[in-house]
Structure 1
Amino acid sequence: MDEGASDLLMRVEGMTCDGCAEAVRRIVRRIDPAAAVEVDRAHERVAIRTRAQSLVVADALTRAGYTAAAMTG
């Protein structure tokens, strides 16, 4: 495992197709190229293993046109 990485669970609204899911992956990997990104469009969730902070990821996704926020619990 990547030392210093943490698991984030994000709620990401606005992913309507596989292209959107791929765009979300690209956005996260621009921030952290080593990030592992799993997109669940049906439940509007994105699980990420990354060194990036959740606010940075949420901001990048929001700037791309999605509604994004970290989930707790």
Structure 2
Amino acid sequence: MNPMQSDLLMQVDGMTCDGCAAAVRRAILRLDPDARVAVDLDHGRVAVTTREHGATVAEVLTQAGYTAMAMTG
């Protein structure tokens, strides 16, 4: 992991299918192309390793149409 990166856990409401999971991944990767993203549809959570702050990731996901909140970071 890049020393500037951190692990975030996001609560993301509104993800209901694989298409939603793909849209969430795309939104995060547009923000940080080097991010690692793991989507857990069953629990509505997204684990992200990124150089961005949780609030920034949440804002990008909100702009993509989801209700998002950083649980960590």
Q: Deviations over 1:12-49 (max 9, x none)?
A: 00011101001100000011000000000000000000
Q: Give the gaps of 5 or more residues in structure 1.
A: none
- Determine helix, strand or coil for the equivalent of 2:42: helix
Provide the TM-score with structure 2 as the length reference. 0.94
Query: 1:37 maps to which residue?
Result: 37
Aligned residues: 72
Give the Cα separation in 1 of the matches to 2:42 and 2:2. Answer: 28
Runs of 4+ in 1 over 2 A off after TM superposition: none
Query: 2:11 maps to which residue?
Result: 11
Identity, % of aligned pairs?
A: 61
- Displacement of 1:63 in angstroms is 1.1
Provide the TM-score with structure 1 as the length reference. 0.94
